[in-house]
Each structure stands twice: as C-alpha cells, then as structure tokens.
Copies of this chain bind each other. A is one copy, B any other.
C-alpha cells in the first residue's frame, strides 16, 4: 500500500511529479468536500504552505493516519497544533527564506537609519526646506562602530550578522544556542536579552513565534532600549506587544520601529492595524514581502518537498519542530 500525501496549494508542478514517484499524491484544490472527508483517514503526510482554511479542527480530527506535516513557511505558528494527534511530526521550512528575509531586515534597518523614507516623503511636500547640513547629519545613524543586536540567532539571524560585520558593527546575538562564534558576542538568558536591548543601536528580531516569544518585547523591554534606536521585525508581529510599541513610539520620537510583519486579525495578518501606526513618522512598514521575495523562485518550496522525500525515503526529516513550544 503506497503512502498517501495530501498537498496544499503553491507547490510547483515539477515538484508534484517528483513526489508522485514516491507517494500517491492528492491535491487539496482538486477535491470536493465529500471526497476530502473520505480520503482524510487514509492520509499519511500533509504538505502545505500556509495552513489551508479548509482543514479545520473537524477535518484534522479525521486524519487518524497522519504522521508528518511539512510546511513551506519558515514559521509554524499558523499550524493548529492543538488539533493534531500527538504522534504527528511537524517540520518547518526554517532556512528556506534566510537570505531574502535577512536582506529585507537590512532594507528596513537602513531605510530607517539613513532616514530615506522620512526624507523622501518630506522632499515630496511642497515648500520643503532642509535643516542645516550638520543638523541633517546628526539625524543619520552611522553604523560603523555601533552595536547591532540580533534577537534569535537561526539562519536569518546569522545572515543579518554577516552583513552587520561587513558594516563594521559590533554584533551581539541573543539565543538559546550553546554555540559561540568568533566576532559575535553571544548572550544568553534574561540578563543576556536585557544587555542586547540596552546596548544596541539597532535590534533585529529574528525569532520564531512560540508560546515563550509571544509578547517578549513589551513595555518593560522597550523601556530598556536606547532612546535613539531602530527596532526591526522580520519575524512575527506578535513577538512585539502592539499596545506597548505604539505607546513607546508616540512617547519617543527618536525610536523607530520598522516592520515587515503585522498583527493578526481574524486569523490573517492585517495591514490596517488597530492602532494608527501608519500615521507615525517613526514607524516604517512593508506588507510582508520578505518571504514572498524568496518564494517567487520556488526554492523554498523545493526545499520543503526535499524534506518530505527524506521522510518518504525512511530518513529522519530535518527541521522537526518541538511541539511543546507551540501547543
């Protein structure tokens, strides 16, 4: 009896053909609800990008044979862990987007630090008159010799660090890893996090969203940071407390929050946040474009498929998620 694999949307055609050599492939998009209900108890593996709305808790409860969930995204916070049986192995696609997301972090950091967004908008207004040159210059963050803090040091954090070193920055990373790296200051535990926040001129959040990172940057943490600092988020919005960051931005005009990720409303990232961030001069936003700039090449999708093939071939899959951090 062959392995049955259910695929969500956005897997490239040639990858589907590859999978068909090792499994019976069923496409979610081609199945009616009746067919789907009939087949769910027979599915062994599930490969999805973002978790499909159709697979609600009732449907998931019918997947009694399911042993592997592979997601095309690097983050797995969209997966309904509570509904999945305990035996199900969940694999992320961590590392699949690191170059592009790391680059985007630098796009946000420099757009903020070099005041490009602010000045470009100001110059477009009628009657723009610049401040004297030295005053303009004082407004700019010069990176060389300044401190870059990276909160979360996986493959995205490492990419961000490499660039920071090339800019001649002092790079600090906060993570749970035991490894230390030459040229990088590794900090651990709550005191480590606090030191990163206190000493950095720019901080990049590159953590997964888990039970313990949700709301990790709140009022207390923001108040530890320098008054003139840039906080970049290319991870998940919910790591930063929405109300706390809004109040902090209003009260500290030299603090800049630059983000590619947005708080969820009704299960979806909302580009119209509850609080009027988009009226603030010290806020910079892009509509979650970092991951998609990787996905256009299909390289992350191919990587996810490769991991499913490992599993189908009897090997240990990579990027197995510690479910206790999410459930």
Contact = CB atoms under 8 A, between A and B. Distances in A.
A1 interface: no
27 contacts: A99-B142, A99-B168, A100-B140, A100-B142, A103-B142, A106-B106, A106-B110, A107-B113, A107-B116, A108-B116, A110-B111, A116-B284, A116-B286, A119-B286, A120-B284, A121-B121, A123-B278, A123-B287, A124-B278, A128-B272, A128-B287, A136-B289, A137-B291, A137-B294, A140-B289, A142-B294, A163-B166
A282 to B, nearest CB: 12
A136 B166 contact: no
Which 10 A-B residue pairs are closest in the complex by CB-CB distance?
Answer: A137-B292, A107-B114, A166-B166, A140-B293, A111-B116, A107-B110, A133-B292, A130-B287, A137-B296, A119-B286
A246 B183 CA distance: 45
Given A111-B107, A137-B293, A285 B119 contact: yes
Interface in A127-142: 128, 130, 133-134, 136-140, 142
Contacts of A106: 106, 110
B295 A134 contact: yes
Contacts of A121: 121
Given A107-B111, A133-B295, A137-B289, 18 more contacts: A10-B134, A99-B142, A99-B144, A99-B168, A103-B110, A106-B110, A110-B110, A115-B286, A115-B289, A116-B286, A119-B285, A119-B286, A119-B289, A134-B296, A136-B293, A137-B295, A137-B296, A142-B294
Contacts of A10: 134
B108 A292 contact: no
A286 B114 contact: yes
Total copies of the chain = 2
A167 interface: yes
B100 A285 contact: no
Nearest to A163: B166
Contacts of A227: none
A106 B164 CA distance: 12
